[in-house]
Each structure stands twice: as structure tokens, then as C-alpha cells.
């Protein structure tokens, strides 16, 4: 377990030293949300109807901006072989790197989403459900994105390939998250959808590190 948290601390430290990656993700999220009221107009009813879906789509796209660097830094520095030789299984290494990615990418999105929701005139009733749903969904993005990142390490235009691989798999997460917020805004019970997101997170925690580790082994060989 010590090696696991050492990898998490190392990746978080490196990400903070290259703060431009995290800042670019948050800036994209903020600017894209701000553009919607400017483009659609000041009609509050229209903005409130599209608020949940808009926030989820933009958050998904923003989080994908840094996925291509999940393993690329280690590949550029020749560290992929060292990951295999780590004192813990490669699957645990992948899980540690996904946790670090979520801490520096997913958490800022979760914290900024309620503030930006005000710009879209989203009702206060949807805030708690949105935060909880994003807390469940953003780790899924990191985990599924790790599979795409592992398969495209060293590939030219890897970011485009990751998008093509990951976006179809994340569509159910997007639908469940936006629907849960809409139900909360309508005064209905969003619990079943949140439980589905939780189940998807558990499945991703079990399967995605194994798939990403297999992809990394193929890359190393």
C-alpha cells in the first residue's frame, strides 16, 4: 500500500508542478459554460432547461483534455518499464495513476460545477445531486480514459484516438448524470440513477485497471 500512495503522491506532485494542465482543464470548463448564455441569449427558462446537460457535456470534454498525458509522461521519460517492475501489480499502479488524475482534474471540476450552474439559472435543488453525481462519474471517466490512454501510448495524435475510444463508453454515464440532476430539479427521486452510477463506478474500478494494464504490457512488448 505504501508504494500505491507513493505513486499517487508522485503523480499529484508532478501535475501541480505542471499546473498549466489542470488550469487549462478548468479554464476550458469555465469558458465553455460562459459561452452558452452569450450564444443562446438571456432567456432564463431556456438556460435552466439545458443547464444539466450542458454542464455534464462540457465537464466530460474538459476532463478528456488531460487524458493523453496519463501515461505519456512515463513513456517519454522511459518509465513504462519501471512501472512494470514496481513492487505492486501493474493494475494497482494504473489505479494509483487514475486516482491522481481524478484528484487534479475531477475534483476541480466538481468544485466549480455548482458555481457555474448559477450562470445557467439552474435551480438550487439540483446542486447536491449534481455534486454527488459528478463525484461518482468523474472517477469513471479517469478509469475508462486510462484504458484509452494505455492503448494509445506513443501514438501520433493520441488525444484524438482516446476521444474516439472513450466517448462511446462514457455516453451512459453522461445520460445518467444529466438525468439525475433533471429529476432532482423536478422534485423527483434521483436515488436509483445515483445507485446506477455507483454500480458503474464499482465495475470500472474492477475492470478498467486490468484492461489498462494489459494495454500497457502490449505497448512495452
- Sign of the dihedral defined by the CA atoms of residues 26, 30, 35, 36, in that order: positive
pLDDT digit string (tens) for 123-144? Answer: 888 889 999 999 999 999 999 9
41 vs 197, residue with greater confidence: 197
pLDDT digit string (tens) for 24-76? Answer: 888 999 998 988 888 887 777 888 888 888 999 998 888 888 887 788 777 76
Contacts of 85 (CB under 8 A, 6+ apart): none
Mean pLDDT across the chain: 86
Give which of 192, 58, 51 is closest to 123, Cα–Cα: 51
Q: Which domain holds residue 17?
A: 2-220
In the chain, how many domains are there? 1
For every residue of 14-79, DSSP letters joined together read HHHHTHHHHHHHHHHHHHHHHHHHHHH-S-HHHHHHHHHHHHHHHHHHHHGGGGGGTTHHHHHTT-
Mean pLDDT of 209-215: 90
Q: Which helix (H) or strand (E) holds 7?
A: helix 2-17
Q: Measuring CA to CA, how many Å separate 86 from each of 58, 79, 178, 208? A: 36, 11, 39, 19
Amino acid at each position: 500500500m505504501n508504494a500505491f500512495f507513493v505513486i499517487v503522491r508522485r503523480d499529484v506532485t508532478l501535475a501541480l508542478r505542471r499546473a498549466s494542465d489542470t488550469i487549462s482543464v478548468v479554464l476550458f470548463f469555465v469558458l465553455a459554460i460562459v459561452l452558452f448564455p452569450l450564444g443562446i441569449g438571456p432567456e432564463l427558462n431556456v438556460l435552466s432547461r439545458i443547464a444539466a446537460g450542458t454542464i455534464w457535456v462540457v465537464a466530460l470534454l474538459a476532463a478528456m483534455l488531460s487524458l493523453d498525458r496519463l501515461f505519456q509522461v512515463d513513456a517519454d521519460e522511459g518509465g513504462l518499464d519501471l512501472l512494470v517492475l514496481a513492487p505492486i501489480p501493474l493494475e494497482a499502479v494504473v489505479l494509483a495513476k487514475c486516482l491522481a488524475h481524478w484528484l487534479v482534474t475531477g475534483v476541480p471540476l466538481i468544485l466549480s460545477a455548482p458555481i457555474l450552474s448559477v450562470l445557467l439559472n439552474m435551480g438550487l435543488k439540483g446542486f447536491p445531486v449534481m455534486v454527488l453525481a459528478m463525484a461518482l462519474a468523474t472517477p469513471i471517466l479517469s478509469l475508462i480514459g486510462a484504458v484509452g490512454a494505455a492503448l494509445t501510448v506513443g501514438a501520433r495524435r493520441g488525444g484524438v484516438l482516446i476521444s474516439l475510444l472513450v466517448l462511446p463508453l462514457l455516453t451512459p454515464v453522461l445520460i445518467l448524470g444529466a438525468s439525475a440532476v433533471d429529476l432532482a430539479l423536478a422534485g423527483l427521486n434521483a436515488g436509483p440513477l445515483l445507485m446506477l452510477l455507483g454500480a458503474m463506478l464499482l465495475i470500472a474500478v474492477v475492470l478498467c485497471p486490468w484492461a489498462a494494464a494489459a494495454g500497457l504490457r502490449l505497448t512495452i512488448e
